[in-house]
Structures are given as C-alpha cells and as structure tokens.
Amino acid sequence: MPLCFPPNFPAMGAVVSTQHSIDIVGPRDQPERIAQTLAAAFQDDPALSWIIPDADRRRKVLPRFFAIMVQQSHRHGAVLASAETEAASLWYPPGEVSDGALASAWDSVRLLTVFGGSLSRGITVAEAMYAHHPRPQIYDYLRYVGVTPDAQGKGWGGAMVRAGIARAAEQGRGVLLETATPSNVAIYTRLGFDITEEWEVPGGGPHFWTMIHPA
C-alpha cells in the first residue's frame, strides 16, 4: 500500500466522539491487538479476498499484513483506537507518497514474506488506489477503519470515522477514502462523504468507490 510523509499531521491526543472515546495511540499502545482487530474486520474484504482468495490463508496472514500497516501509519500519520481496541483506524496526512530507501526496502521484504506469490495482485490494487487519488492530494487519507465482528453494530465504526473527520476539520482539511465494499458506500454517504469516482482494479480486480468528505 502507498506510503506518505507526516510533516503536518496533528499531534497525539484524545478524540472524543459522542458516546465513544477514541484516542490517538502511540507505537507501543497495543499494536498487535490493533492489527488483530483490523485483520478480523477485513477478513471478507473484497480487495483482500481478491489478493488472497483462500480464506484460511487470509486468516493467517492478515494480522502480519496489518502489523506492517499499523507501523507505517505510526511512522507517517496516525493510528486511532478505542480503549479496548475493538475499533481502530489508520491515517496518512495530505501529500505525495514518500519514504526513505531503507524503510521502503524493509517493508517490501516483509510484504513479500506475507503475500508470497499474491504480492503482484497487492501491488496492482495499491497502484490503482494511488492512481485514483486527487492531484494534489490535499486530504487526510483514511487508509483502513475496522471493528471486530463482535463489536459491530454498536456505533464504533461511525464514531471512528467521525473522530477522524473532526480531527481533519480542525486543520481545515477534508478526508479521502476508498472502499471496495458496496454496503459501505451508503454508510460513508450518511457520514457526509461524496462519491468522486468509481473504478475497477485492472486484471479482473474488485470495483472501488473513491469518496471525499469536504473540509
């Protein structure tokens, strides 16, 4: 997945939603549990299911994949989580993708270890997502947001997204995301996002919606 740089992303601190307390967490604040939360939430995600068609294999490798994604967001942006980590989201700040050669190479090696022969599909999805980002990219980017299956339907997902929207708004910015899950489109629309583009991943990949919440 794409990498970004962090020069003007807001500092850590509490973000409180109406009925849910959500914090900006540090790299040592339960990263493994946050990765497990996102892995469980994305087990049936259309894009990751296309990249790794076998459900049992996805169940094994997604925690390792999201561990890398969590580290990247700590390095470049921010990680939001509930106190019990039943909900989490990964964010990047506005700007062009960028990373040092050493960190980029290390992430590439780890992702190859995770995905194996499926890495080419992962790269195809990541490149397609990046190609459909606005230019210039002036929005806070919601990379991933997820809730554990047993906590779904309790308002955590909406609270997590609203917390990120509010955080971006404090800086005078909107929020960018994409989703490959059709049912998510109506949810994000109710949260104030507009569809800016629909597109297909080349090579028979999933259908995506790119959506923006204005500042």
Radius of gyration of the chain, Cα coordinates, nearest whole angstrom:
16
Residues 164-182 pLDDT 10s: 999 999 999 999 999 999 9
For residue 122, the model assigns a pLDDT of 96
Tell if the pTM clears 0.85, that is, is over it. Answer: yes
For residue 10, the model assigns a pLDDT of 46
Q: Which residue has the higher pLDDT, 20 or 69?
A: 69
Count Cα neighbours of 70 within 13 Å in the Cβ-side half-sphere.
Answer: 27
Q: Which H helix or E strand runs over 197?
A: strand 194-200
Give the sign of the dihedral formed by CA 133, CA 176, CA 126, CA 12: positive
For the chain, percent of residues with pLDDT exceeding 70 = 89
Mean pLDDT of the chain: 90
Contacts of 110 (CB under 8 A, 6+ apart): 64, 68
Cα separation of 40 and 32, whole Å?
12
14-213 carries CATH number 3.40.630.30: yes
Domain ranges of the chain: 14-213
Residues 29-67 pLDDT 10s: 999 999 999 999 999 999 999 999 999 999 999 999 999
Where do the H-state alpha helices sit in 42-193? 46-51, 55-76, 101-115, 119-131, 156-170, 182-190
**Coil, helix or strand at residue 177:** strand
